[in-house]
Amino acid sequence: MPEAVPRTITEAALAPLAPLAKFRGRHYLTDQDYTREELLELLQLAVKLKALWRDKTLTPFLPGRTLAMLFEHPSTRTRVSFEAGMTELGGHAQYLRPGEIHLPGRESIKDTSIVLSRLTSAIMARTAYHSSLVELARWAAVPVVNGLTDDYDHLIQSLTDALTIWETAGSFDGLKLAFLGKVSDAMASSVALTCSRLGIDVVMAGPADHQMAPEMQRLVRANGEQSGATLTLTDDPVEAVAGADFIYTVLWWWLEEGEEREELRRTYRPFQVNGKLWAQAKPGARFMDCLPAVRGEEATDEIMDGPMSLCFDQSENRKHLQKAVLLALIGSDRLPDDPDMQEIGRALLV
């Protein structure tokens, strides 16, 4: 049993895994439900699974298990990465969307949750409201995973971003991340919550009247009191990127249309990540965007396609991080016969 959770990516790759059975049966609704050490343990499992994947795509830790995937909104990365990840773990994922099932409207969240718990091993849900996800988890007898709640957070993405940062920087120590643009968005909140949990300083740069919600500010600062991370709010993009190791942005609009969309463009245009702004950034800084992106709006092609960009690494890492979360939460009852899978298999049993 390791004495401490690895602090560097090199240590994570080489050190033995912590016991993982404690995760079995838990929900993954917000990373505020997990300690810093537990998040690091999940990240280390993702590192181990990714290394194993390089040698063998199919690692059937979860044979015969099914993941129900509930989507209230369209998805590319979330749907494909969960489905591909579950397949690589030896299981199966089912895509369920409004119009094809009785939720919403014709059946309650409670009944849907109870039925899916009888038929599957875990539920992943992308919902418009966090309250719907909480209600789903309330009645579920299997783990429920947050695949994005539009009004709260996207922690499966932000923990993936932490994995990408860990791979890139080698350690979380002494890092600063600047988030530019729509800092009132669920994605911004999630990045700030995860980073502050892990000890990364966070700068939120957006219009003064479109800043992070006070509730989120309170949670991020509370995380920082435990991890040593700081939170800075500014409406100056140049000030934000100065000294930042990672510069993150997100879509300015999603479902908005017409004049509402144009107003968002006008509001956030000063926070576009482009070559002029990047010239003010720290040498060696890296660019992050969870995607999808509207090229030429929140970021220009020279940034998205440049050597500083990590956005496609972030997309790939979704699969590896989600495999770790699913495997830890669903758990296992037997040690795999494959010797290459036994280190992870042993950790799942204790």
Element (H, E) at 342: helix 342-349
Evaluate whether residue 161 is within a structural domain. no
In this predicted structure, the answer to whether residue 316 has a pLDDT above a threshold of 50 is yes
One domain, residues 107 and 187 = no
One domain, residues 249 and 129 = no
52 and 340 Cβ atoms separated by less than 8 Å: yes
What pLDDT does 102 receive? 80
One domain, residues 261 and 331 = no
One domain, residues 108 and 226 = no
What pLDDT does 106 receive? 81
In this predicted structure, the answer to whether residue 1 has a pLDDT above a threshold of 50 is no
> How far are the Cα atoms of 10, 69, 309, 312 from residue 177, in angstroms, in the given order?
22, 31, 14, 18
Q: Which residues pair with 180 in a beta bridge?
A: 205, 249
One domain, residues 133 and 49 = yes
Evaluate whether residue 332 is within a structural domain. yes
One domain, residues 132 and 256 = no
Question: Residue 332: how many CB atoms within 10 A of its CB?
Answer: 22
What's the structural domain count of the chain?
2
One domain, residues 28 and 120 = yes
Instruction: Indicate the average pLDDT of the chain.
Output: 96
One domain, residues 128 and 189 = no
Evaluate whether residue 293 is within a structural domain. yes
One domain, residues 249 and 308 = yes
Span 285-294, mean pLDDT? Answer: 97
In this predicted structure, the answer to whether residue 77 has a pLDDT above a threshold of 80 is yes
- The parent domain of residue 191 ranges over 169-313
What pLDDT does 256 receive? 74
Which tens digit of pLDDT belongs to each residue from 138-186? 999 999 999 999 989 899 999 999 999 999 999 999 999 999 999 999 9
162 and 185 Cβ atoms separated by less than 8 Å: no
One domain, residues 148 and 177 = no
What pLDDT does 171 receive? 98
Which tens digit of pLDDT belongs to each residue from 234-264? 999 999 999 999 999 999 987 678 899 999 9
One domain, residues 270 and 327 = no
CA distance 304 to 289: 8
Cβ within 8 Å of residue 317, ≥6 positions away? 46, 50, 160, 163, 164, 167
Question: Residue 295: how many CB atoms within 10 A of its CB?
Answer: 12
Q: Is the pTM of this model over 0.85?
A: yes
